[in-house]
Amino acid sequence: MRKGLALTWLVLLFAGIAAIFWWYDWKYSLPTPVPVNYHAVGIGTPVTLPPSAAALLPANEKPLFLHFFNPDCPCSRFNMPQFSALVKQYGKEAVFAIVVMSPKQFSAEDIQSKFNLPYPVPVLRDSAVAAACGVYSTPQAVIIDQNRHLYYRGNYNRSRYCSDEKTGFARLALAGLLDYHYSQTFSPLALTAYGCSLPTCHK
Tell me the average pLDDT across 24-31.
56
The whole-number pLDDT of residue 193 equals 87
DSSP-derived 3-state class of residue 122? coil
Measured CA to CA, the distance from residue 162 to residue 194 in angstroms comes to 9
Write the single-letter amino acid at 86.
Answer: L
- Give the global pTM: 0.82
> 98-111 pLDDT, tens per residue?
999 888 888 888 88
pLDDT at 28 over 90: no
How many Å apart are CA 198 and CA 201, to the nearest integer?
6
pLDDT at 21 exceeding the cut of 80: no
Cis, bond preceding 81 (omega within 30 deg of 0): no
State the pLDDT at residue 66.
Answer: 96
Identity of residue 62? K
Sketch out the chain's domains with CATH numbers. Answer: 51-197 (3.40.30.10)
Give residue 61's pLDDT band: very low, low, confident or very high (50, 70, 90).
confident
Whole-angstrom Cα distance, residue 118 to residue 128? 28
Which residue would you say has higher pLDDT here, 157 or 97? Answer: 97
